[in-house]
Structures are given as C-alpha cells and as structure tokens.
C-alpha cells in the first residue's frame, strides 16, 4: 500500500511540474524531457540511506577561440574557477581551478583536454590536494524547436598528494536547455551526471561513486555574459561511512 501511494504521489507531483512548465511557456516536448530527466536523475540517487548537508557553489568560467574575426579557427581555450561550501555556516570547503585546450571537430562536437587542481578542507582531517588530467568530448546531440540536447563525456586521471595510486573515473552528463516563452536569452536547464570509478585504489572503490542532478535557470543579459542559477542534488557513495546527499545552491557566471 505504501508503494502504491508513493507511485501515485510521484505521478501527481510530476504532472503538476509538467503543468507548471507548460504555463511558463515551455513546449509540450520540452516539458516532457524535463520530467524524464527528473525521474531518471532523482531515482538514481535513491540507492540507500544517506546523511544530508546543504551548501552553495560559486562558479566563474570563460572560453574563446584563439583566433578572431569571421574565421577564428578551430582551436579553443577555457578557464574555470569554483568556490564550494558544503556545510551552511561552515568555512570554505573546496576550491577548484580548471583549464583546458579544445579543438572544434564540427559545429556540434568539440574535443577537450586539460588540467584541474582541487584543494579540499576535510572534516577533522586537515586538507587534501588533488591534481587531475582530463579528456572530454562535448557534443550537441540535437537542436529542435522545443530546445537543445547536449552530452558531455569526461575521463579524468586523479592524483592525490601523499596517497598511493592513480584514480580513473568517467563522468557522463546529459542536459537539456529549453527556452521559456520563445525567448532566446532565458531558458530552463536540466541535467544529470553520473560518476563511475574505473579502477580501485587505496582511497577509492571502483564502480558508481556519485550522481548529480541540476535544475537551473539560464539568463543572458548581454552578448558577453550568461548567468545560470538553481539547485544541485549531489549524491555520494562514501567508502566505509554512510552515503551523503548534498542540497546545493549554485550560481554560475560565464563570460563569453
């Protein structure tokens, strides 16, 4: 009986969510995609009992072609910085710097590679410093009247200072961007990203380790700036401890 009630309640909530999206100007197809991402993303986090925390992330990013003019060429660069606070009322917990070099294979596919540095304040364990080498395929799967479907596949090699072993994991993200009210500078963003370790080390198990679900609003106030803000649900499988779920407010500034 409890299971039946849960299914009925989920169906009612998803129906109300789709109705709200339709009222806000999102197309029928677009609203259906968003509901599908919510079902897949949040169901994948229901893996076991988890402790919960709140937090906030601030992101600043920029990227551009190396060339200029009408034919800037295919080579690109990117730079991103993040400040992450995982426990409300606590100090800064993590800082991230990521840089990359990309090559635009076609109008829909770009290949990337680069380096990232993570500086993390651990609870009761001092700090952790991690260096990552990463390779990525960014793919615009398709563009339709209702919105755009995107994919990002990233492979990372992880090196932790003072720890043995190199961690390998793959991150797969699918996301949709859906215009609101037919506007080209305002849209819903819904994305789900899974993390999978490819090998076991002394500090990580193999297999599924993390899932993220983003529900965001994107706004482009000018030709040179895009702002994205919203909610991130982040689920961790924690080695030797209860799993963790973070409820995070995210604000991102992308300088174009």
The pLDDT assigned to 39 comes to 52
pLDDT bucket at 183, cuts 50 / 70 / 90: confident
For strand 166-179 and strand 109-121, is the pairing parallel, antiparallel, or unpaired? unpaired
Number of domains in the chain: 1
d(CA 164, CA 176): 38
Is the model's pLDDT at 211 over the cut of 80? Answer: yes
Buried b (16+ CB within 10 A) or exposed e, 231-255: ebbbbbbeeeeeebbbebebebebe
- Please report, for the domain that includes residue 127, its CATH number: 2.40.160.40
pLDDT bucket at 6, cuts 50 / 70 / 90: very low
Domain that residue 57 falls in:
2-255
* Higher pLDDT, residue 85 or 11: 85
DSSP codes joined into one string, 142-162: EEETTEEEEEEEEEEEEEETT
Mean pLDDT of 79-96: 83
pLDDT, one tens digit per residue, over 19-33 is 555 554 555 555 555
pLDDT, one tens digit per residue, over 32-87 is 555 555 555 554 544 555 678 889 999 999 999 998 878 889 999 999 999 998 77
pLDDT, one tens digit per residue, over 152-176 is 999 999 999 988 899 999 999 999 9
DSSP codes joined into one string, 66-114: SS-TT---SEEEEEEEEEEE-STTS---EEEEEEEEEEE-SSSEEEEEE
């Amino acid at each position: 009986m409890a299971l039946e009630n849960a299914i009925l309640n989920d169906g009612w909530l998803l129906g109300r969510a789709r109705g709200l999206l339709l009222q806000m100007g999102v197309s029928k197809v677009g609203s259906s995609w968003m509901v599908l991402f919510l079902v897949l993303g949040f169901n994948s986090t229901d893996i076991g009992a988890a402790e919960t925390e709140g937090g906030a992330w601030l992101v600043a990013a920029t990227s551009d072609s190396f060339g200029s003019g009408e034919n800037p060429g295919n080579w690109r660069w990117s730079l991103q910085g993040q400040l992450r606070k995982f426990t409300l009322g606590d100090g800064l917990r993590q800082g991230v710097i990521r840089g990359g070099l990309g090559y635009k294979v076609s109008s829909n596919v770009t290949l990337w590679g680069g380096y990232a540095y993570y500086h993390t304040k651990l609870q009761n364990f001092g700090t952790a410093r991690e260096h990552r080498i990463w390779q990525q395929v960014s793919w615009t799967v398709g563009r339709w009247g209702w919105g755009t479907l995107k994919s990002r596949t990233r492979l990372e090699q992880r090196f932790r200072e003072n720890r043995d072993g190199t961690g390998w994991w793959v991150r797969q993200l699918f996301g949709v961007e859906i215009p609101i009210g037919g506007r080209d500078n305002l849209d819903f963003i819904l994305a789900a990203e899974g993390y999978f370790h490819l090998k076991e080390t002394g500090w990580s198990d193999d297999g599924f380790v993390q899932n993220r679900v983003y529900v965001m609003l994107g706004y482009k106030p000018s030709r040179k700036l895009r702002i994205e803000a919203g909610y991130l649900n982040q689920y961790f499988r924690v080695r030797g401890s209860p799993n963790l779920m973070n409820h995070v407010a995210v604000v991102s500034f992308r300088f174009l």
